[in-house]
Chain A
Amino acid sequence: MISKAWPNQNLIKKSFPIIGMHCASCARLIEKKLVGVPGVVACAVNYGSEQATVEIDEKVKDKDLANAVSDIGYKAVIEAEGEKTPDEVKEGVKIEELKKLRTKVIVSAVLSSIIFLGSFPEWFGISLNPFVLWLLSTPVQFWAGWEFYLATWSGLRNRAASMDTLISIGTSAAYGYSILSLFGITSGTYFDTAAVIITLILLGRFLEAKAKAYTSDAIKKLLGLQAKTARVLRGGREVDISIEEVKVGDLIRVRPGEKIPVDGVITEGTSSVDESMVTGESLPVDKIKGDAVIGATLNKNGSLIFKATKVGKDTMLSQIVKMVSEAQSSRAPIQRLADSVSSYFVPVVLMVAVAVFVVWYVLGMPLLAFVNMVAVLIIACPCAMGLATPTAIMVGTGKGAEKGILIKDAAALETAHKIKTIIFDKTGTLTIGKPSVTDVSDPKTAEIAASLEVGSEHSLAEAIISYAVQKKIKTHKVTGFKAVPGAGIEGTIEGQKYFFGNRGEKSEMVQKLEDEGKTVMLLESGGKILGYIAVADTLKEGVSETVGLLEKRGIEVWMVTGDNERTAKAIAKQTGIKNVMAQVLPHDKADKVKEMKSAISHKSSAIGFVGDGINDAPALAASDVGIAMGTGTDVAIESAGITLLNHDIRSVLTAIDLSRVTLRVIKQNLFWAFGYNATLIPVAAGILYPFTGWLLNPALAAFAMAASSISVVGNSLRLKGVKI
């Protein structure tokens, strides 16, 4: 430790990692350099933990420290305070705003309560001098309510109006009218009305801002998954560096229980990895050398070394965050009406308020004319309309991301529940996409076949060998191995010559297996068939269950494949799919989708296509809702509206359900927002007065207006708890 501290100085202690030290003398060198920086009074660099700790006065900038360290060939990783992410800036501003708003709400609530109590001596027995009421309401009007004036002024300069315009005009009218009455020009004071309106609207804004913060929780949660540091192997040693410093090609060590910092490929070790937080896949996935790992997932039990392949904004997590935030910024088609109404809303309400005043005045009730005009200005709530769709989309897409369902835009989320026809690609979507052994006549056949296949390069050999490994079947040495093109393979084991392929007479059993769409290979020796092995691409878990549930909902399910009719029908039978399009070449899939689209006349029905792989991209794009399996390529994901990261075919149903519940909430919100304004504006205008004698007190109007925005946000937040 090098120190030049002296007492009574205001010092800050700061620690940060240093990269690039080779020995203890490096640490001393850095200490000397850092303590030479003006304002640094003490410095200790620990070579073991690769950390520097400095005591500095407030004037020392992070940049000065970083530059000093880099001058001598090392690197200091200091979190620069000036380089906050936009989200952090927003968070900071929001916290500050909420604090200010809270103070205003508390102060104006206290003042408004006194004003209110003092305004109705007949109810509360307290009588306050009108001039005292004026004095008390002035800070509420011009301090707490100052933001309404500011916003109104800046809007008017631009010939635009907002909710603030309505509030400032409404409360100023009540406040101004009351002052005139103090001097005998008018009668009656409404200081209480103005103060209570401002307090309630501010309280509404405060609660709304708090609730709105929860709607963007999903992104925060996703970002929170990110590991902060990575243990990189450099120069034969393991060095902890910040995640931003990791480069493609770095070898990274992950111990059991640690998070995998970035995307990569395992080069050493085996483990099972919990990927649920990113992909929604519920079971841990076993990983061996050569397997891909995803950043932000949790390494469970083994120690791994992997090579970083994607870092920074290219990692899967960053891509997910980008996609979710883009989807949340997109516009749902259903929002268009609210969009067009909101452009006219405030000016129209201003005109209605003037008309209300005129009508009541002409009817000979000047006081009602005034009160009703203020009530109309205050009750109108354009905010609820503006919040109705975006808040629900935000919560809905966030909920999807939590379940491994990535939604590209609001339009896809809105359309998915309209799917009346769904087309599944077969290979890789309904099936695993890799052949595996399904039937074996007897263990001896498997033993001989596996031994022969060791030397084969045929695509089915892999299936048989992995079957043998899995069943722990021992293999024998083969001599005279030969591949017979188009027929099979032959070889000699322990002096006996075998042939394994499609040659020979097929038994009834073999015929039956072939009818099921399986590829059957026969083992023959000396002209006699010894046994058979059937290989087929197997169905993914949950396929028939999903097909059944889709049909139960009245959705027509189709399968499209390049396979021949017989294989296609066999697979379709296993899945329960009744409609099959076989022998469809990859580039024709999109045409098939278009054909079906044109056949549907009903506009409210949509066609969904579920697929993976590059050759599905045109079909995914051609459908109304493209759903890509997460195992698919990036291209497929680009062309799809919805991506199922969890590889689970059952999530097709979840996605449709998510769309349905989100749409329901949007419709409820819009109905509420439009219904609220359409009903209460006329009530505030006094339309019920001639029939029932009902009028809306402007203070009550303020309460209703504040409650309406909050209830829309609250209704959207309800989506978080909905079970799908």
Chain B
Amino acid sequence: MDKTLTILGGVSLVALIWWFFFGKREEVIIVADGKIDVLVEGGYKPSVIKIKKGQKTIISLLRKDPNSCLEEFILPDFKISKFLPVNQKVDIEITPDKSGEFGFHCGMNMFHGKVVVE
């Protein structure tokens, strides 16, 4: 009985973990006016930023999370790497000349997001 309960509990927990981390819907924001605020707190909010090809866009990052994992913001396809002091806005400017999905992540590659250029 004990064992059955443990198995059932384990399977449900694995399913819960799966659902919790992989089943989330990414918050997508379409940038209309060339500027977007991104909150850096336990990840990136929003984590998916849609912008138009050729449109100059300022991504304004505000890190509220003291976790040192999030101190660096890296957008490798645009060769951008910025240090984010806590509670201080840091602006980055991009003008994508090709369409596609360009991932960004923290310094340790633990938290992810992406810029979608259409």
Enumerate chain B residues within 8 angstroms of A339, measured Cβ to Cβ. 103, 105, 109
Chain B nearest CB, measured from A713 CB (Å): 12
Asked if residues B79 and A361 are in contact (CB atoms below 8 Å), the reply is no
Asked if residues A338 and B109 are in contact (CB atoms below 8 Å), the reply is yes
Within 8 A of B (CB), among A353-379: 354-355, 357-358, 361-362
Name which of B28-36, B50-58, B61-69, B93-101 contacts chain A: B61-69
Asked if residues A329 and B41 are in contact (CB atoms below 8 Å), the reply is no
Out of B67, B71, B85, B103, which one reaches A154, CB within 8 Å?
Answer: B67
Q: Which residue of B lies closest to A359 (CB)?
A: B10
Within 8 A of A (CB), among B5-34: 6-7, 9-11, 13-14, 17-18, 20-22, 24
Asked if residues A154 and B79 are in contact (CB atoms below 8 Å), the reply is no
A93 within 8 A of B: yes
CA distance A386 to B43 in the complex (A): 16
Q: Which residue of A lies closest to B13 (CB)?
A: A354
Q: Which residue of A lies closest to B112 (CB)?
A: A343
Asked if residues A159 and B20 are in contact (CB atoms below 8 Å), the reply is yes
Out of A93, A327, A351, A362, which one reaches B17, CB within 8 Å?
Answer: A351
Out of A157, A330, A382, which one reaches B79, CB within 8 Å?
Answer: A330
Enumerate chain A residues within 8 angstroms of B83, measured Cβ to Cβ. 86-87, 89-90, 93
Enumerate chain B residues within 8 angstroms of A382, measured Cβ to Cβ. 108-110
Out of A151, A159, A357, A385, which one reaches B67, CB within 8 Å?
Answer: A151
CA distance A156 to B20 in the complex (A): 9
Chain B, interface size: which category? 35 or more
A354-B13, A385-B109 known; A155 and B85 CB under 8 Å? Answer: no
Enumerate chain B residues within 8 angstroms of A325, measured Cβ to Cβ. 81
A484 within 8 A of B: no
CA distance A382 to B112 in the complex (A): 14
Within 8 A of A (CB), among B75-114: 75-77, 79-83, 85, 90, 103, 105, 107-112
Out of A93, A153, A329, which one reaches B76, CB within 8 Å?
Answer: A329
CA distance A382 to B111 in the complex (A): 12
Out of B6, B20, B79, which one reaches A362, CB within 8 Å?
Answer: B6
A351-B14, A358-B10, A362-B7 known; A386 and B108 CB under 8 Å? Answer: yes
Q: Which residue of B lies closest to A162 (CB)?
A: B110
A90-B83, A351-B18 known; A155 and B43 CB under 8 Å? Answer: yes
Out of B41, B68, B90, which one reaches A158, CB within 8 Å?
Answer: B41
Enumerate chain B residues within 8 angstroms of A87, measured Cβ to Cβ. 83
Count of residues in A whose CB is under 8 Å from the partner chain: 50
Q: Which residue of A lies closest to B43 (CB)?
A: A158
A151-B69, A329-B79, A329-B80 known; A158 and B42 CB under 8 Å? Answer: yes
Chain A nearest CB, measured from B63 CB (Å): 11
A164 within 8 A of B: yes
Asked if residues A154 and B110 are in contact (CB atoms below 8 Å), the reply is no
A559 within 8 A of B: no
Asked if residues A387 and B108 are in contact (CB atoms below 8 Å), the reply is yes
Q: Which residue of B lies closest to A89 (CB)?
A: B85
Within 8 A of B (CB), among A312-351: 325-331, 338-339, 342-344, 346-347, 350-351
Asked if residues A386 and B42 are in contact (CB atoms below 8 Å), the reply is no
Enumerate chain A residues within 8 angstroms of B107, measured Cβ to Cβ. 386
Enumerate chain B residues within 8 angstroms of A151, measured Cβ to Cβ. 42, 65, 67, 69
Chain A residues near B (Cβ < 8 Å) = 86-87, 89-90, 93, 97, 147, 150-151, 153-164, 325-331, 338-339, 342-344, 346-347, 350-351, 354-355, 357-358, 361-362, 382-383, 385-387, 409-410
Provide 16 A-B residue pairs closer than 8 Å at the C-beta atoms, listed in order of the A residue. A93-B83, A147-B67, A147-B68, A150-B66, A154-B42, A157-B42, A160-B42, A161-B21, A329-B76, A329-B81, A339-B103, A339-B105, A354-B14, A354-B17, A382-B109, A382-B110
